[in-house]
Amino acid sequence: FSIFDNDALTEDDYLCGAKIILQETDDLKCPLMTRRGRATGFLLYSIKWKEFDEGSRLKGAWKVNVKGARNLPNKDCSFTCNSAETSDSYVVLRPAPDVFHDCKYPFEQVSTVKHNDDNPDWNETFSIPVCHEGGEHLKGAFDTAGLEHRDGVISTSKNDWVERLKA
């Protein structure tokens, strides 16, 4: 998880983050760390596994519910810090590069922005799909659609897709 402060006129500020392991869990408090390694607040979340039907192209999905965060740092202070100004925070969920090092198409999912709140409540659920081992189901789906794959690489040529859709 990474938590950012949304800024309308400048690049968004990184507030803090945490790495988690995808495993089923009830409500947990996870300590958040700044880039400099300083502890700052915590994230509230839970994770559930959703198994898909046997014939599905996907094995299932992790359902990550981000409930909220507490004691986030305030990045919206200017030279004259107004105590009424606080961060406009949002969460970004993305796979860690050290876990998905061979992932050609990394993804990220982003929550809504909670304005002026250092203790935001999101209560948003993100789905992280999981393929069957080896992706054999997906290869079969592409065969059915008439798309070529060689050694697990699917043709992503725009012309290939357009021609297949015309057929």
- Model pLDDT for residues 102-149, shown as the tens digit of each residue: 555 567 899 999 999 999 999 999 998 888 775 554 444 444 444 444
**CB atoms near residue 68 (< 10 Å):** 19
Region 31-36: mean pLDDT is 91
| Predicted pLDDT of residue 139 | 47
| pLDDT surpassing 80 at residue 34 | yes
What pTM was computed for the model? Answer: 0.71
